[in-house]
Amino acid sequence: MQNLFEATYDCLMCSDLDEKVSRLSALQQAWTEDRLRLGPLDEVVRIPDPGRPSRPELVPPRKLPKRRLGSREGHAALMHAIAHIEFNAVNLALDAVYRFQDMPRDYYFEWLGVACEEAYHFQIVREHLNRLGYEYGDFPAHNGLWVTTYETDHDPLVRMAMVPRTLEARGLDVTPGMMAKLRAIGDKRGVEILKILLRDEVGHVAVGTRWFRYLCEQRGLQPFPTFQSIVETYFNGNLAGPFNYEARREAGFSEDEIEWLKRIEQESLAQA
């Protein structure tokens, strides 16, 4: 019987897009049918670069060209950026499974489910990108999501705070604005896709919240000050609004956290 973590690592390191999706589907099926052994490996390696295709070219965020959304190329570039986030999210969820091998069984069930939903997101965004005449890899992209994933591979508490509850939660904030832009240029299919993504991402952030609080309870820590401290220590850049407070509440953010974000947003507006 294959080990869950070995199978997850193989999927995580697969660089072919279609094969990765296929392996992930098989992995989830094997897990739900109880055909994978759950036991920590003798060695858990750090992963500076997960499996991904040779394209897109990865560049620093500041070097990404700005394109006008009203142009065909700008429209495609936006959808490409979304596809890149969703592809990265597959690897993020798989690494959450592989990386932390002493968590409860439900943790792995939930993060494998997240990985499969992210793969579905990637596929529907990629299909829409294809309809626009482009393929994933046709535009440059940045690697910020994985950099933070790599930097937080030492502690599941830090990982849950920084990846789902900070970086992925940012998607809850910016997706409504992207939907409005796509609606303005008549991209009805793009709007419908982003509705699906927003709905599911609330659930993904909620998974991060659930396990963040579980780990706080296990360690006798208060969730709100712990979250504050981790963000202040590990977040690269300035945390700034606007924030989607309704979606964040649905994803399990406490009222203390919401009030903290409101203060951050007010301070950033005052400094603008």
Domains and CATH numbers, the chain: 2-53+71-271 (1.20.1260)
Element of type H or E holding 3: strand 2-3
Give the global pTM. 0.95
- Cβ atoms of 212 and 169 within 8 Å: the answer is no
Per-residue pLDDT, 62: 79
pLDDT band at 70 (very low <50, low <70, confident <90, very high): confident
pLDDT band at 144 (very low <50, low <70, confident <90, very high): confident
- Residue 242 preceded by cis peptide, ω within 30: yes
Please report where in the chains the tokens 């963040």 appear, as a residue.
212
Per-residue pLDDT, 65: 80
Can you name the residues that pair with 36 across neighbouring β-strands? 2
Per-residue pLDDT, 67: 79
Q: Is 143's pLDDT higher than 90?
A: no
Q: What is the mean pLDDT of residues 105-114?
A: 97
pLDDT band at 93 (very low <50, low <70, confident <90, very high): very high
Per-residue pLDDT, 23: 96
Per-residue pLDDT, 106: 97
Q: What is the DSSP letter of 63?
A: G
pLDDT band at 221 (very low <50, low <70, confident <90, very high): very high
Strand 36-37 and strand 2-3: pairing?
Answer: parallel
Measured distance CA(239)–CA(232) in Å, rounded: 9
87: Cα separation from own chain's centroid = 9
- The residue that leads in pLDDT, 269 or 104, is 104
- Cβ atoms of 56 and 138 within 8 Å: the answer is yes
Per-residue pLDDT, 272: 60
Per-residue pLDDT, 15: 96
- If you count them, how many residues does the chain have? 272
Measured distance CA(76)–CA(222) in Å, rounded: 44
Helical H segments across 133-168, by residue range: 144-151, 156-162
pLDDT band at 64 (very low <50, low <70, confident <90, very high): confident
- The residue that leads in pLDDT, 143 or 19, is 19
How many percent of the chain have pLDDT more than 70? 100
